[in-house]
Structure 1
Amino acid sequence: MVGPYLSGKTTLLESLLFVTGAISRKGSVKDGNTVGDSAAESRDRQMTVEVSAASTDYNGTRFTFIDCPGSVEFTQETYNALMGVDAAIVVCEPIRDRVLTLAPLFKFLDDWEIPHIVFVNKMDRANIHVLETLHALKAVSSRPLVAHQYPIMQGEQLTGFIDMVSEQAYQYHAGAPADQIPFPEHLKAEEHTARAEMLEALANFDDHLLEELLEDIEPPQEEILNDLKMELGADLVVPVFFGVAEQDYGVRPLLEALLREAPEPETTAERRLKAINSKAPLAQVLKTYYTPQGGKLSLVRIWQGKLTDGIVLNGVRAGGLYRLMGQQQQSVNEAVAGEIIALSRMEGVKTGDTLCTEPLKTTLSKAEELEPVYALAITPEKRNDEVKLSSAITKLLEEDPSLAWEQHGDTHEVILWGQGEIHLQVALDRLRRKYNLPMSTHLPQVPYKETIRKPVTSVHGRYKHQSGGHGQFGDVFLDIKPLPRGEGFNFKETIVGGVVPRQYIPGVEVGVREFLAHGPLGFPVVDVSVTLTNGSYHTVDSSEQAFKQAARLAMQTGIPQAQPTLLEPILRVRVTTPSEFTAKVLQLLSGRRGQILGYEGRQDWQGWDNISAYLPQAEMQNFIVELRSLTLGVGSFHWEYDHLQEVPEKLAERVLAGNSNGNGNGK
């Protein structure tokens, strides 16, 4: 079950489990007692932050439902889980302004040819007509949407539905199945229009049905159902259902449709295993959990064969097989193709991995890992916890592959990267809860650099130190000049006559490099050429160390004379946005000192644009937050470092003032 944040996926799961008898009492998100959202981080926020699996039986068929997060910040969880399902239920609300948020999800489902059904939830809060809802949904789907049922409304209340295949009308009852009622005459014209559209969409893939429609022959119900099953299974059409999950309205018809029309596991396996030349037991990891009680759990989809207790997959013996009901585990001795179960203690196995009892030449495709777009610098609140941090973060990244971390070479900060502010806060909560690692956080420092604007020549540095016994003596003259942007550092020497012996010259270069690591403005100095031109030495007191110190003294004198200036990293960003928001995004970039390079239509995304720009890294920190705010949460961007550029004078003053206060951000 997938769909936008607040569309009601967890409530729908609760209703499905209740209607099928898997639970005797429904929980609610508000009360924090649902089967889905069983993680503490989910309950704290009353939102799904990781996939949650639950199994149930209905009319002799076992279903495993996976409740996926709706927030765009946890999209990776959803995409990973979708790689192992037979069909997706896309849950949405009948609100026109929110329909656009489905576009990236529909695109992913269609790119991977994953059959999907739309369940329009919360029909008791609809702000548009049924036909308008269908029209808005069709605008964001590349596959034709077909109404499988037509809702019967009484004012703002959903009271029943018309089955579009049988054209029978039904009335909902609280806590009981719907019963048949006479066809409501006032809906005849609307229902007829919607049904004609459904049949025409199905006829595009069935010549026999097309002939029947052209000859005004009413197709048999069995033929329509067969077409729905075939075309849904091939991801050619998307059936649409309506309901109110909170009241169980629409849930039983949805279950019946899944039972009747969703593709069988064998059909999905045939599509997914085309490149696999093995008949051995095979599974794929959809999600990794680290539980307080049982350690590591790998949620897997079994694609072929049978998994038994103690089976060895990829050289690792499974510690146990479990069916999941949220965080509850039921031990089983075996599980067969089509099931989604958890394997314990699969060390070294990661989300997305293909598992088999024998070596494979080819593995199953997995969802692409999303690029991180938001960062926080983190430090353990207790100094002694630093040694535990690396191990804990490694486990954190196994649970959530859309996180990343780095030890920044310039700022020496540990930086945690993710998909947004809430995403990182959830990760930090897990560090605290699971690994007893409370963290302090701050915005990462911008890795500013500095350079020089003009050359200086014959800068003298002399180091002379006497402390009894051998003294220390080094004497150098340096020429310092700026290099073109991006050239880095260059050291040369033009010594003649041995005024600085060869064995001491490396010490001069070391002294220069050590000084450049922290220039007069407080940042590393780049794009500088230094030439050793002259000097003198003492036969007894000179050493490589003395010449290193002399070089540092010369740089200390020379660099401030060469007009040091501040440089900031500039990123090249490619922003993707629905075309209707392009103008606003251009303003957003310009307002953050961005330089627009151009924009064009996004390939294979109708009604979307790609915008290219240069953006100072100092302006990037909350960029994703504003971008999502402007684009209903669907805007995104890719970034990469491009070049260094001088910081405008007024901003440079603020940065340097901030750096002198010890925060290094200047923001």
Structure 2
Amino acid sequence: MNQTILDRSRNVALVGPYSSGKTTLLESLLSVSGAITRKGTIKDGNTVGDGSPEARDRAMTVEVSVASSTYQDIAFTFLDCPGSVEFAQETYNALVGAGAAIVVCEADIAKVLTLAPLFKMLDDWEIPHLVFVNKLDRCKDSFMEILHALKAVSSRPLVPQQYPIRQDTELVGYIDLVTEQAYQYHAGSPADPIPLPEHLRDEEKAAREEMLEVLADFDDHLLEELLEEINPPKEEILKDLKQDLSADLVVPVFLGIAEQDYGVRPLLDALVEEAPHPGITAERRGLKPEAPGDVIAQVLTTYYTPQGGKLSLVRIWQGELNDGMSLNGVRVGGIYRLMGQQQESVTQAYTGQIVALSRMEGILTGDTLTTGDVNKLKPLPKAQKLEPVYALAITPEHRKDEVKLSSALGKLLEEDPALHWEQHGDTREIILWGQGEIHIKVSLDRLRRKYNLPMTTHLPRIPYKETIRGSFKSHGRYKHQSGGHGAFGDVHLEISPLSRGEGFKFTDTIVGGVVPKQYIPGVETGVREYLVQGPLGFPVVDVLVNLSDGSYHTVDSSEQAFKQAARVAMTEGMPKCNPVLLEPILLVKVSVPNEFTSKALQLVTGRRGQILGYESLEGWQNWDQVTAHLPQAEMQNFIIELRSLTLGVGFFHWEYDHLQEVPDKLTENVLAQNTAS
């Protein structure tokens, strides 16, 4: 392994909430570092990131975009990650392979809370990260107020490395708190050093002291200097920043306006000076990046491209990968360096690099790959799979396309592991599950564009059941005479309810062989077939049916005849047993910042939910978890309203719990809708 290549490369993910400006920042980073000659804009749809049609149609990042550049002899690979919570799975999968992350946020205290889940993931995985406070030209709050708000959502201490210089409300420059040098911004060129503004001396001093005090918590020598009122040299501060950032002990904070390139060069300088090289990240994962031996890599995401087919974006953790090698027994079809939608073929990939591999069939996102014996290799940890929270039932617009659907859905799920599909056992609908309405719509766009499979959609039907409250003794006779043998079956059934959750039971108390044993299974089959759709139109549960009497004909009776007799008896008897409608009830655990707990409680109770209790959410500072029983019928748009009430950060876990009677006033609506459909 060439140590120079390892030392002089950085993998950096750009993460942050939707509309914070990540893709614009990427464009600026590429422009400032000389990777592109002309900056694109989101409005014009010509940025390096967000190159897919689905992203450009919505002016938002919906998948990880990769771009490379060189700055001060450091080779950078940037991963522009989605900001919408509906595409968080993409972001989390990509972060697993990042050496550092830039958390981009708007200069707006009201939106800081949206960073909480992202900070949690970064801290849990110990991924070094910096904060870039963007759009300071629109800022209504002071920088220190924003910094204070950021501290409340991070478990790691934040370290301001810059302080803004404003002229009225306009951002005109910054003060480097390491060197105490002030700079004035210039559009399209580096900032110029200027004297430190006198009116900002006290504020700068306070911000710098805050920076040094945080660093001193991890450096005894620096602490001694501060106690003795010795001004530490620049080199010592930078050394502490580099060590503490690499160990994910502190979070440096930078500022600027990405759209105008303000603050982008100092951010790049910090990545050069302070961000860890890929070997440090590999060692944190328990690997030896410089050791000779087998190649070890991990899939960060999967693409299906119109031209090149399947591409697996991988992080090389150890070893040197050459074109034509096999990983996990699959021959690499090609190695590519990505620049947005563009692909550059290369023959080798080294430790620390992020490249795309073609035609890796059977290889999935998150998989650990090796040129050695995969059975002897401990898989690398991968991002937790998010649970689906929103669903639509889908049907191909053209019936002839039904045969292609399962194959296309399989590829769709390879690209996006946050999706799930099923054919529901009760409703027979094909249901596509995802992280929200936009997430599902993007997936449907991909089905249409990539696989020529346009879909019609509707909300999934609720899998209602029915049961009975009363008992009834029913008689069924089936008699049919044709030219040859006839058909004869005669049964007496006792139909009665069972306790909730007991399902269906069939018994017989036949005495004297009035119904021969060989015909009794036919009776049970007839009962079961009837229970698929009861008198209200839904599957029947929690019913006991006893065969108590009957008669037969020595010539004309058969198992089929007794099955038909049983159906006759059930058809007559079930409507007289006081049938009632049942709905599925889910056990739901809703997680929200505690300032939104009261809203979450109101949301649950407003949807016929029963609150079971709430408590602090383990591992999340200032978050609560509300536990409740909620009817499945009330859950279909629950995630949309929950996110609306919680700045997009609320989430929930659900599982089926039990069946419960539908209130009488709602039963009529359900039955009317079922009849109409």
* Cα distance in 2 for residues equivalent to 1:315 and 1:582: 51
Match for residue 334 of structure 2 among 317, 320, 343: 320
| Matched residue SS, 1:522 | coil
Q: Residue 262 of structure 1 aligns to which amino acid in structure 2?
A: A
Shift of 1:274: 4.7
Match for residue 602 of structure 2 among 566, 587, 590: 587
User: 1:462 aligned to 2:486?
Assistant: no
* Cα distance in 1 for residues equivalent to 2:432 and 2:198: 60
Deviations 1:458-496 (A, max 9, x none): x10000011211111000000000000000000001111
Deviations 1:5-49 (A, max 9, x none): 000000000000111111110000111110000010000000000
Retained in 2: the 8 A contact 1:473–1:537?
A: yes
* Cα distance in 2 for residues equivalent to 1:311 and 1:271: 27
Match for residue 616 of structure 1 among 631, 639, 642: 631
Task: Give the aligned partner of residue 626 of structure 1.
Answer: 641
| Matched residue SS, 2:149 | helix
User: 1:484 aligned to 2:499?
Assistant: yes
Retained in 1: the 8 A contact 2:50–2:65?
A: yes
Q: Residue 532 of structure 2 aligns to which amino acid in structure 1?
A: A
Match for residue 402 of structure 2 among 386, 393, 416: 386
Retained in 2: the 8 A contact 1:147–1:198?
A: yes
Structure 1 554/40 Cα, relative in aligned 2: closer, same or farther at 3 Å? same
Task: Give the aligned partner of residue 5 of structure 1.
Answer: 18
Task: Give the aligned partner of residue 44 of structure 1.
Answer: 57
User: 1:551 aligned to 2:559?
Assistant: no
Deviations 1:146-191 (A, max 9, x none): 1011111112221111111000011111110111111111111111
Structure 1 479/230 Cα, relative in aligned 2: closer, same or farther at 3 Å? same
Shift of 1:275: 9.7
* Cα distance in 2 for residues equivalent to 1:627 and 1:273: 39
| Matched residue SS, 1:526 | coil
Q: Residue 219 of structure 1 aligns to which amino acid in structure 2?
A: P
Shift of 1:338: 1.2
Task: Give the aligned partner of residue 325 of structure 2.
Answer: 311
Retained in 2: the 8 A contact 1:285–1:350?
A: yes
Q: Report 1:212-611 matches (<5 A).
A: 212-274=225-287, 279-359=293-373, 360-457=376-473, 459-611=474-626
Shift of 1:331: 0.5
Task: Give the aligned partner of residue 94 of structure 2.
Answer: 81
* Cα distance in 2 for residues equivalent to 1:506 and 1:107: 58
Shift of 1:278: 8.3
* Cα distance in 1 for residues equivalent to 2:534 and 2:219: 74
Q: Residue 425 of structure 1 aligns to which amino acid in structure 2?
A: K
* Cα distance in 1 for residues equivalent to 2:347 and 2:212: 46
Q: Report 1:139-218 matches (<5 A).
A: 139-218=152-231
* Cα distance in 2 for residues equivalent to 1:79 and 1:34: 23
Task: Give the aligned partner of residue 665 of structure 1.
Answer: none
Retained in 2: the 8 A contact 1:488–1:528?
A: yes
* Cα distance in 2 for residues equivalent to 1:274 and 1:636: 34
Shift of 1:279: 3.9
* Cα distance in 2 for residues equivalent to 1:129 and 1:405: 47
* Cα distance in 1 for residues equivalent to 2:292 and 2:18: 40
Match for residue 90 of structure 1 among 100, 103, 107: 103
Deviations 1:512-533 (A, max 9, x none): 0000000010000000000000
Q: Report 1:24-63 matches (<5 A).
A: 24-63=37-76
* Cα distance in 1 for residues equivalent to 2:198 and 2:158: 25
Deviations 1:311-349 (A, max 9, x none): 111111111010000110000111111111100001111
Match for residue 82 of structure 2 among 47, 64, 69: 69
* Cα distance in 1 for residues equivalent to 2:501 and 2:61: 45
* Cα distance in 1 for residues equivalent to 2:431 and 2:459: 9
* Cα distance in 1 for residues equivalent to 2:118 and 2:212: 25
Retained in 2: the 8 A contact 1:273–1:364?
A: no
* Cα distance in 1 for residues equivalent to 2:76 and 2:550: 83
Q: Residue 624 of structure 1 aligns to which amino acid in structure 2?
A: I
| Matched residue SS, 1:161 | strand
| Matched residue SS, 1:285 | strand
- Structure 1, unaligned stretches of length 5 or more? 663-667
Task: Give the aligned partner of residue 18 of structure 1.
Answer: 31
Q: Residue 349 of structure 1 aligns to which amino acid in structure 2?
A: I
* Cα distance in 1 for residues equivalent to 2:73 and 2:446: 39
Retained in 1: the 8 A contact 2:288–2:318?
A: no
- Structure 2, unaligned stretches of length 5 or more? 1-13
Shift of 1:361: 2.9
Deviations 1:71-91 (A, max 9, x none): 000000000000001100000
| Matched residue SS, 1:205 | coil
Deviations 1:190-231 (A, max 9, x none): 111110010000000000000000111111110100000000
* Cα distance in 1 for residues equivalent to 2:59 and 2:17: 14
| Matched residue SS, 2:15 | coil
| Two-structure CA RMSD over aligned residues (Å) | 1.0
Retained in 1: the 8 A contact 2:287–2:317?
A: no
| Matched residue SS, 1:401 | coil
* Cα distance in 1 for residues equivalent to 2:286 and 2:361: 25
* Cα distance in 1 for residues equivalent to 2:466 and 2:146: 56
Q: Residue 596 of structure 1 aligns to which amino acid in structure 2?
A: I
* Cα distance in 2 for residues equivalent to 1:506 and 1:192: 88
Shift of 1:272: 1.2
TM-score (norm 1): 0.98
Task: Give the aligned partner of residue 125 of structure 1.
Answer: 138
Deviations 1:108-163 (A, max 9, x none): 10000000000000010011001101001011111000101111111222111111
Q: Residue 442 of structure 2 aligns to which amino acid in structure 1?
A: V
Retained in 2: the 8 A contact 1:275–1:362?
A: no
| Matched residue SS, 2:37 | coil
TM-score (norm 2): 0.97
Q: Residue 316 of structure 2 aligns to which amino acid in structure 1?
A: I
Percent sequence identity over aligned pairs? 73
Count of residue pairs the alignment pairs up: 661
* Cα distance in 2 for residues equivalent to 1:362 and 1:194: 45
| Matched residue SS, 2:253 | strand
